[in-house]
Structure 1
Amino acid sequence: MLPRVTTTTDDDRAHVFHSWSAQAQITPAEITKAQGSHFWTADGTKYLDFSSQLVNVNIGYQHPKLVAAIQQQAERLLTVSPAFANDVRSEAARLIAELAPGDLDSVFFTNGGAEATENAMRMARLHTGRQKVLTTYRSYHGATAGAIAATGEPRRWPSEPSVPGIVHFWGPYLYRSAFHASTETEECERALQHLRDTIMVEGASTIAAIMLETVVGTNGVLVPPGRYLAGVREICDEHGIVFIADEVMAGFGRCGEWFAIDRWGVTPDLICFAKGVNSGYVPIGGVVISRTIADTFADRPYPGGLTYSGHPLACASAVASIGIFKEEGILEHVRGVEETVLRPGLKALAASHPSVGEVRGVGFMYAVELVRSQESREPLVPFNASGAAAAPMGAFAAACREQGLWPFIHFNRTHVVPPCTTTASEMREGLEKLDAALAVADTYTTSA
């Protein structure tokens, strides 16, 4: 009998269960090669990646120094239990602690971002002896039980009822202000007052933590206004609440800083990280912990752990990645290209396309919000649209791909989140492709 011959696509359709998908309705593209800011699909099509996959390939694809570090570690020591000390785990923790603000000087390693937010909430609850955690409606914190409960957006709905103790509130978003604000200052002040009011009616003595994405990621690239984060810090200090900064997407160069929160000079109590720390070459995440919270567990066991916590391959890749960031000046590169190419380029697109309602962002983390009317600000597609209602965004995304640009789409937005190593010329190329695709979005506006 001849052996059965199958393709990657055949096996994928038969055996791979894909996340966030109706299995019979998807036909995943097969990626066969990637380098720098590009990847190739099985049919030979080359794409400039404006998504960084899931906003995690910060250092670009197949960086030779990072690949070599993983290979060298694999030859030396592949795995060791978290109960033992290990040189690359210790070095990764030290390097990350040195980059973190204030007295955040110890690291609990996880396998990804969701486990980081899960453990940060657990630490806050045990440290304070309280149970409630406040998060915003426009947020995503992961898909495990506690993380999806903390998530504010519709992906949490099918998991409800879920882990108790999560309270959602509105964060600042001036373009669609929940507080009827007309200026950034008003939005900041009113959002902080709304948070204070939420704490008042929930009972400050019951609240363990406030967890925020420093810059909201998938749900809009919402950059906090003015003193908002400083105000949250003050509120937490006033009530003995732990401030958790979820930097899973915003950290490690994405916003032109090691940690995005550095832009505002604020020190949280816990920082969650993953994605960009090693560009997803090997699964890793973690929580950077303040000395005060770490001391809670000096003589009291921390009731949490993971078989692969601080895995040597993952930690070796994080050590190498941090070294590459420093040696190649990637943070400075992000700031420079943002200032000279990305920000002015996106502003030019906004001025020439009626479908662009707002452009906002920082570093290599921008959102282009698409609307049917700039005057009414009606979204190009409804909130959480699917099926025929989502067709305009589907047409826009298809136009991007036809141009050889791979977009990151969510609701009525396209996010510009390329690898942090993307060159100025590649960024210009991507903006030209985006310009062409926006012409398709323009056909759905009231001015068309």
Structure 2
Amino acid sequence: MAAPPQVDGLTLDAEAVALDRAHVFHSWSAQAHVAPFVVAGGAGSTVWDHAGHAYLDFSSQLVNTNIGHQHPRVVEAIREQAAALTTVAPATANLTRGRAAEAVLAHAPDRFAKVFFTNGGADANENAIRMARLHTGRDKVVSHYRSYHGNTGAAVVATGDWRRVPNEYARGHVHVFGPYLYRSEFWATTPEQECERALQHLERVVQCEGPDSVAAILLETVPGTAGVLVPPAGYLAGVREIADRYGIVLVLDEVMAGFGRTGSWFAFDQHDVVPDLVTFAKGVNSGYVPAGGVLVSAEIAATFDDRVYPGGLTYSGHPLAMAAIVGALGAMEDEGVVENAAAVGRDVLGPGLADLAARQPLVGEVRGCGVFWAVELVADRATRAPVPAAVVGAVKAACLARGLLPFVVDNRVHVVPPCVVTPDEARRGLEILDDALTEATPAP
């Protein structure tokens, strides 16, 4: 869809930036160096600023607009709910909330009985950790170093990346290395070795920490911000076996990977594993109204049949967010959105990125599935040394100049368009990325 005509757009863009710089405090940023990108509107896989400059959105904002921007069915669902009831206390019974829970559970394995709704992914992980601890009577949570689970007390300490370090106020968190063959911590040379050694490492850490002290193993099914690290065959099934061996709750974080992103409703559908708790957010309603939740197995839900669950949120199951879930999941089912994500990944993004990796000297590895891919940029393919930040910045700038909005993390470009992206849009995005890489490649 074309961008709207300019209506004093340059002035409005300047006003947006000025107000932002004057009054908005940005997350994960040194405030004096923020350079905000203006988004005024969007449709499908395209966004634009007030001046009418359009960009193909290969970021899905924060990898959450799975159904694309301004999907009419979701917008209408929110509008209808706003006309009927804008808010209600979480202790009430609300038809829209019940329908949202039913719609989510319809895509989950049969063992899941209930949904605890939250405001987003961080508090979903927070409550999953709480449930696991109360259910087991244990304290410790084991998670990966290469992970991100949110920016609340326990969730940020369960996170493994740098954001954990200045925020380590929660107790009982232990980290391990997960599989990442391209930069193996285990001297592995094959996926099978990486899998076997990562599982052995995980089990030894559990044993050394004391299995009777470990409440949960919390993993992103496919670590997203850490680099779209699709686990090797057998890894998650092996984690399930370790959890069962020691009576540990397995929590899979599907906040970024769920609801079509990997080409299936849940990413774990592709890995022969069923967890005990599942956390979700983002793609469940594409972030149109903030929402997240925890899928709770019947066994863990029963723990709180006669015991008070000591947790809650004022906006748990907020009607507008629930209406957005019902609208989004219904549209995804009817329009084959998950199937589209799988097909675009298989037929366009996968082959196209493999071609980039073969031709572009900056590309060390590409990996992913569905509409969830990462392009790892290296200064030297032999040593796999990451490119300097200036090169990544040059790639990003070249993409923006050509009308592509990328998602850039560390030395990687994540290729994460909406699940509704068309094959032609996907090809166009890859062509732009190809040109940007060529422009940013340092002269020999």
Q: Which residue of 1 aligns with 2:378?
A: 371
1:239-318 mapped onto 2 (5 Å cutoff): 239-318=246-325
Aligned equivalents of 2:369 and 2:384: distance in 1? 22
Aligned equivalents of 1:442 and 1:231: distance in 2? 41
Aligned equivalents of 1:8 and 1:336: distance in 2? 38
Aligned equivalents of 1:350 and 1:69: distance in 2? 42
Letter in 1 for 2:392: M
Letter in 1 for 2:16: T
In the alignment, is the contact (CA less than 8 A) between 1:101 and 1:262 conserved in 2?
Answer: no
Q: Which residue of 2 aligns with 1:193?
A: 200
Q: Which residue of 2 aligns with 1:423?
A: 422
In the alignment, is the contact (CA less than 8 A) between 1:272 and 1:287 conserved in 2?
Answer: yes
Q: Which residue of 1 aligns with 2:43?
A: 35
- For 1:31, what is the secondary structure of its paired residue? coil
In the alignment, is the contact (CA less than 8 A) between 1:188 and 1:225 conserved in 2?
Answer: yes
TM-superposed deviation, 1:286: 0.2
1:44-443 mapped onto 2 (5 Å cutoff): 44-160=52-168, 162-381=169-388, 390-443=389-442
Give CA-to-partner distance per residue, 1:356-388, whole Å, 9 cap, x none.
00010011000000001111111113xxxxxxx
- For 1:114, what is the secondary structure of its paired residue? helix
Letter in 1 for 2:91: A
Letter in 2 for 1:64: P
Letter in 1 for 2:295: V
Letter in 2 for 1:203: G
In the alignment, is the contact (CA less than 8 A) between 1:98 and 1:105 conserved in 2?
Answer: no
TM-superposed deviation, 1:102: 3.6
Letter in 2 for 1:104: F
TM-superposed deviation, 1:52: 0.2
TM-superposed deviation, 1:443: 1.5
Letter in 1 for 2:353: L
In the alignment, is the contact (CA less than 8 A) between 1:102 and 1:267 conserved in 2?
Answer: no
Q: Which residue of 2 aligns with 1:384?
A: none
Aligned equivalents of 2:17 and 2:263: distance in 1? 38
TM-superposed deviation, 1:441: 3.8
In the alignment, is the contact (CA less than 8 A) between 2:147 and 2:159 conserved in 1?
Answer: yes
Give CA-to-partner distance per residue, 1:59-93, whole Å, 9 cap, x none.
00000111000000000111110110000101111
Letter in 2 for 1:364: V
TM-superposed deviation, 1:42: 2.9
Aligned equivalents of 2:110 and 2:219: distance in 1? 18
Q: Which residue of 1 aligns with 2:6?
A: none
In the alignment, is the contact (CA less than 8 A) between 2:139 and 2:172 conserved in 1?
Answer: yes
Letter in 2 for 1:275: K
Q: How many residues align?
A: 432
- For 1:371, what is the secondary structure of its paired residue? strand
In the alignment, is the contact (CA less than 8 A) between 1:57 and 1:276 conserved in 2?
Answer: yes
In the alignment, is the contact (CA less than 8 A) between 1:105 and 1:288 conserved in 2?
Answer: yes
Letter in 2 for 1:395: A
Give CA-to-partner distance per residue, 1:40-61, whole Å, 9 cap, x none.
1233221101100000000000
Letter in 2 for 1:413: R
Aligned equivalents of 2:37 and 2:410: distance in 1? 21
Aligned equivalents of 2:348 and 2:176: distance in 1? 35
TM-superposed deviation, 1:440: 3.1
Aligned equivalents of 1:252 and 1:23: distance in 2? 33
Letter in 2 for 1:226: A
In the alignment, is the contact (CA less than 8 A) between 2:398 and 2:436 conserved in 1?
Answer: yes
TM-superposed deviation, 1:442: 2.5
For structure 2, the 5+ residue unaligned runs are 1-11
In the alignment, is the contact (CA less than 8 A) between 2:346 and 2:369 conserved in 1?
Answer: no
Cα RMSD after superposing both structures:
1.2
In the alignment, is the contact (CA less than 8 A) between 1:371 and 1:377 conserved in 2?
Answer: yes
Letter in 2 for 1:23: Q
- For 1:372, what is the secondary structure of its paired residue? strand
Percent identity over the alignment? 58
TM-superposed deviation, 1:155: 1.2
Letter in 1 for 2:205: T
TM-superposed deviation, 1:32: 1.1
Cα 1:191–1:441 shift into 2, 3 Å: farther
For structure 1, the 5+ residue unaligned runs are 382-389
TM-score by length of 1: 0.95
- For 1:7, what is the secondary structure of its paired residue? helix
- For 2:134, what is the secondary structure of its paired residue? helix
Q: Which residue of 2 aligns with 1:26?
A: 34
TM-superposed deviation, 1:403: 1.2
In the alignment, is the contact (CA less than 8 A) between 2:186 and 2:194 conserved in 1?
Answer: yes
Aligned equivalents of 2:323 and 2:242: distance in 1? 38
Aligned equivalents of 1:228 and 1:37: distance in 2? 33
TM-superposed deviation, 1:21: 1.1
TM-score by length of 2: 0.96
Give CA-to-partner distance per residue, 1:6-53, whole Å, 9 cap, x none.
923222222111111111111212211111101112332211011000
- For 2:380, what is the secondary structure of its paired residue? coil
- For 1:99, what is the secondary structure of its paired residue? coil
| Stretch deviating more after TM superposition (31-40 or 245-254) | 31-40
In the alignment, is the contact (CA less than 8 A) between 2:263 and 2:339 conserved in 1?
Answer: yes
| Stretch deviating more after TM superposition (113-122 or 5-14) | 5-14
In the alignment, is the contact (CA less than 8 A) between 2:57 and 2:406 conserved in 1?
Answer: yes
In the alignment, is the contact (CA less than 8 A) between 2:147 and 2:220 conserved in 1?
Answer: yes
Q: Which residue of 2 aligns with 1:385?
A: none
Aligned equivalents of 1:208 and 1:394: distance in 2? 41
Letter in 1 for 2:113: D
Aligned equivalents of 1:357 and 1:314: distance in 2? 40
Give CA-to-partner distance per residue, 1:128-153, whole Å, 9 cap, x none.
00000000000000011111111000
